[in-house]
Structure 1
Amino acid sequence: MLACPYQRSTLGVIGILVFYYLYWNLYVFSSDSKLREDLSSLQQSYIYIKPSWGYNNSWRQIGSKANHLIYSAYFDDRLDVLETINDHNTKVPIGSLRIIAILPREFKEAITCTVRFEDFVDKSIAIGKVQSLKEHHDYKYAAYSFMCPLYVNRNSTAIHLPQSVAISYPSNRLSQLSPTFMPISYPRDVDQLFAMSRPVVSVCVGPLQQNYSDVLRVAEFVEMYRILGARHFYFYHLSASEEVMRLLRHYQSEGIVDVLQWNVPAELLTQVHFAGIMAQINDCVYRAMVVDNYRYAATVDLDEILIPLKHNSLSIFLRQCDEGRTSAYVFRNVFFYNLDSNDSFSLPAHTHNRFLYSQMKVRRTLEVMPTHQRSKCIVNTQSIIEMGNHFVWRNVPGYTETTVPLSVGLLFHYRDQCINCKAPLMVDYTARRFGSLIWDRVDETCGQVFNESGLCPK
């Protein structure tokens, strides 16, 4: 049956409108991409004079408001994170400052950034209202990650980069009268500014808290990820035993671990999700990208191992599979439970540290959890704007996340308490293929750190 003339006419008009809409958006996108490409070339033509700075961040109170805190600020040279480019005929962007903070979840005020240069000249940048990171779990306070754009005169040649930044807002008068300035973090090596990221796998570990004391688990975690190709680790210390800190100081002396102060005030711990973990995750991804110029960051907890099933390491997996436009590789979750019985069949007779969870727990849940439910990621740091606990919330345009096929990789989650104790389990010996290395590496490390006994306390 032929369509009625009205239907044909309506569809024709809609088709024309859709065509022009798509054409206009394609034109705008192409023009904007060309503009950003031209500005990027101009951005890299300047001579940059970098201030002195330090990396030892800590939570600092903003003005007079208790539990209004700022932790860090990073110089981000990516122009494609800027939503709009303003006044590019006279002023051009050279990047932005990414600020990590904790504020009330219902915070509605307009924020002003004040950047300070090494000669104590200040410059104010109004950025308006900001949104909290989404995974706040309805707590009173939430993590924030927001951006202050940096512009310079188009005809500049040498540019002095700012040394520190503060934020202020109307209800906090002291934040305006006596700003809390946070040092801005830059690349360790000035030559890495605007350089291509290094294909290094780093690991971001959730905050150590509640006087964390399982030294053996920390040693196994670090050594397993080193076997899997990771080269650097970021630990955030709220509270841990002296034995754990002794082990981390050993790794620091080897240059493979950074231990960062995570001094969330005690009264805030019950009013923000998991000691501010969303701020920690985002801080770590930006730290890996800006300070160390690492391309990859795995965001995991101490009981989680990202296991490649078809490759000998995560670094080999990324080298062979990353085509450059993936924001995150999402590994789906399976559980191993501490309450399950141990399997000591493969335990070497000469081993001193005789419980490694990756080698003793061999039964996992049969069900693989869906993507984004307790999944964890390896991210391309250059693609991230806002990172979540289990997936990416916002990435740079042109990047997309990829779920790792079940035959290629899984997240092995070794939980102390089971989620569903009656869930069917299956035997999985995959992690034992690393047994010939992990037993010896843990024994060697524990022997070096605790040479009196050779044992890492558990």
Structure 2
Amino acid sequence: MLSSNGNQAQYVYFLLSGTVAMVIIILAYVSVRTTLDSKLREDLGSLQKSYLYVKPTLSWEYNNSWRQIGSKSNHLIYSAYFDNRLDVIDTIVDHETRVPIGSLRIIAILPRQFEDVITCTIRFEDFVDEFVDVQVHPLKEHHDCKFAPYSIMCPLYVNRNNTVMRLPQAIAISYPSNRLSKLSPTFVPISYPRDIDQLFALSKPVLSVCVGTLQQNYSDVLRVAEFIEVYRILGARHFYFYHLSASEDVMRLLKYYQREGIVDILQWNVPPELLPEVHYIGNMAQINDCVYRAMVVDNYRYAAIVDLDEILIPLKHNSLLAFLRQCDEGRTSAYVFRNVFFFKLDSNDSFSLPAHTRNRFLYTQMKVRRTLEILPAHQRSKCIVNTHSIIEMGNHFVWRDAPGYTEAIVPQSVGLLFHYRNQCINCKAQLIVDYTARRFGSLIWDRVDETCGHVFTERGICEATQN
């Protein structure tokens, strides 16, 4: 006869056995579902690339601006991109008759507490289609402001039996609390590759630069010229500037680079009444728009996310591009460079100043003392991202990357972010001498002088601000 303790032990044994069996069944089910989902996405990917795609016949400017949605003055839509990545679509439905060929990624500003169901209205050349299966996410780093930048994803489905796919022209969003958004939709053009043959091509191993928004009538022309020329020496080929307000001379310089095919200038016309209610002029929308623009429109593999006072410096390679070519094994979403400060209040070192130069204050050459402390990763760090791996980008690190990708922290002996601050964070911080940026030699001085001479022929000088 079993004792009560024996019965209890037997009960516990059967309970644990049942729990283990249930866990095994659940894991097996998840494994099968994951395998089936991976196989489905692989099959759909092959089918996706078998179609003939026809780009809309509209004239494409690739220059967006903020537009009001319906009757809500502070509900705004900026841009939309065709994203061919099927692995960023969370759930694939109706794949027997209608198959996904990608998604449409929309950049918008809406209330942070937005709870409406969004409908995407997609306009083709000869008909309009609607989708309700929409993923809506406020972008991180909104700092609890009343309004927040949003990333909205509308899956794009087509009939399975079609062989020719005529891509849509434009897209609008609507939702119940904004009745006019349905009655009179605000359409924005959908951006595709400049060359439609690049729709599914391998990304180009090109380094582009996403620059923080120009604002407060930004007027330091010399800093802009030096910034562009330093990054060009480091291997960058293209720059995206977003313009809210800047001086005439700054815009004159940027338009010179634009004519040279080096710079895109994008309007960032956030309404003045919205600026106090959205964090830092909606910079999360600007960063994510730039990453998608580099990925979709130009098919560039890399984008550096930086401000005008930030230079990503490789310490063991001749250029950032050389660093990427050696270190990128294909599954890294971002290379995170840790931050050190140089301060404008610190004394200038003019030892390397060439006698013939006309533009005589280059901050990367005159400021040679930096903070000894190297800040931890994700604290004021900045990144170079693989654009094709990013779902949501933050100011200092990746918030969400595509499946299979992870970020990498750049060792401090391999690369650092040189951050040239106008105001010191800690004016008593210990400083050390660092001549790394002087390895450009006379090249940076000559390039800046040459550019300023072309743009400002009457004086050959790019003006620098004194504050």
Bin of the TM-score, shorter chain as denominator length = over 0.9
Structure 1 position 436, deviation (Å): 2.4
What one-letter code is carried by the residue in structure 2 that aligns with 1:103?
L
Q: Specify every segment of 5 or more residues in structure 1 that has no aligned partner in the other structure, as ranges.
A: none
- Identity, in percent, stands at 76
Contact 2:134 2:153 in 1 (8 A): no
SS in structure 1 at match of 2:101:
strand
User: Paired residue for 1:366?
Assistant: 372
Q: Which structure has the greater CA radius of gyration? A: 2
2:361 aligned with 1:355: yes
Equivalences for 1:2-401 in 2 at 5 Å?
16-51=21-56, 52=58, 53-119=60-126, 121-128=127-134, 130-401=136-407
The separation in 2 between residues aligned to 1:243 and 1:423, in whole angstroms, is 35
Structure 1 position 353, deviation (Å): 0.6
The separation in 1 between residues aligned to 2:245 and 2:145, in whole angstroms, is 22
Structure 1 position 131, deviation (Å): 2.4
The separation in 2 between residues aligned to 1:288 and 1:361, in whole angstroms, is 32
Which stretch shows the higher mean deviation, 385-394 or 17-26? 17-26
TM-score, normalised to structure 1, is 0.96
TM-score, normalised to structure 2, is 0.94
Structure 1 position 422, deviation (Å): 1.2
Contact 1:110 1:127 in 2 (8 A): no
Instruction: Please tell me the root mean square deviation across aligned C-alpha atoms, in Å.
Output: 1.5
User: Paired residue for 2:438?
Assistant: 432
Contact 2:120 2:134 in 1 (8 A): no
Structure 1 pair 12–356 and aligned structure 2 pair: CA distance change class (3 A): farther
What one-letter code is carried by the residue in structure 1 that aligns with 2:123?
R
What one-letter code is carried by the residue in structure 1 that aligns with 2:46?
S
- Alignment deviations for residues 402-447 of structure 1 (CA, whole Å, 9 cap, x no partner): 1101111111100101111111111111111113211111111111
The separation in 2 between residues aligned to 1:9 and 1:205, in whole angstroms, is 62
Contact 1:359 1:435 in 2 (8 A): no
What one-letter code is carried by the residue in structure 2 that aligns with 1:441?
R
The separation in 2 between residues aligned to 1:29 and 1:360, in whole angstroms, is 56
What one-letter code is carried by the residue in structure 1 that aligns with 2:358?
H
The separation in 2 between residues aligned to 1:232 and 1:248, in whole angstroms, is 12
Structure 1 position 19, deviation (Å): 4.2
The separation in 2 between residues aligned to 1:99 and 1:125, in whole angstroms, is 14
- Alignment deviations for residues 19-50 of structure 1 (CA, whole Å, 9 cap, x no partner): 44444333322221111111011011111111
The separation in 2 between residues aligned to 1:336 and 1:12, in whole angstroms, is 63
The separation in 2 between residues aligned to 1:170 and 1:326, in whole angstroms, is 40
SS in structure 2 at match of 1:131:
strand
Contact 2:135 2:154 in 1 (8 A): no
Number of residue pairs aligned between Structure 1 and Structure 2:
454
Which stretch shows the higher mean deviation, 288-297 or 431-440? 431-440
Structure 1 pair 436–158 and aligned structure 2 pair: CA distance change class (3 A): same
Equivalences for 1:438-449 in 2 at 5 Å?
438-449=444-455
SS in structure 2 at match of 1:203:
strand
What one-letter code is carried by the residue in structure 1 that aligns with 2:248?
E
The separation in 2 between residues aligned to 1:425 and 1:15, in whole angstroms, is 59
Q: Specify every segment of 5 or more residues in structure 2 that has no aligned partner in the other structure, as ranges.
A: 1-8
Superposed structure 1 runs of 4+ greater than 6 Å apart: 4-11
SS in structure 2 at match of 1:266:
coil
SS in structure 2 at match of 1:250:
helix
